[in-house]
Amino acid sequence: QSVVRVVFHDRRLQYSEQQQLEGWRWSRPGDRILDIDIPLSVGILEPQIHPTLLNTVEFLWDPSRRTSVFVQVHCISTEFTLRKNGGEKGVPFRIQIDTYGVGGKGDPPEHLHSASCLVKVFKPKGADRKQKTDREKVEKQPAPEREKFQPAYESTVLAEVG
């Protein structure tokens, strides 16, 4: 079983996460922060969406079969920033996936693995603009500095949480 969550990356927002999520729920009644895109996902079984946990989805999967999950984040990073004078940076989110094995009778499930990645979510035009300015900033850096940046990938790469 795997549990996928969208959480705040910044420690200061982690302390007020419940209040931030409640504020979002109040301003967007009936909406969810995170969903599974079932048609695009492969090999997932029994997807579960909890009505009260807007930022969490769960599913079962067989580790001996090819599995991929596509998630949809329905909030943008600037929804959690203070509106000052436009051009908000937006807060970074972390997509975290925790995987558990089947527990024995009466035993809790065994935690097997955790991984996460940092994401920022913008509206399409804002995202294009952000990627362009980020790319330009990196290209202006000297070669040794550029090597510190991670290369772009077609899909999201999660790093193990230790």
The residues spanned by each domain of the chain are 2-120, 123-151
* pTM of this structure: 0.72
- What end-to-end distance do the CA atoms of the chain give, in Å? 19
Q: CA-to-CA distance for 152 and 147, rounded, in angstroms?
A: 12
Residue type, 148: K
pLDDT tens sequence across 95-126: 999 999 876 677 788 899 999 888 877 776 66
Q: How far apart are CA 142 and CA 113, in angstroms?
A: 37
pLDDT in tens, 41-100: 999 999 998 888 999 999 999 888 999 899 998 888 777 776 655 555 777 888 999 999
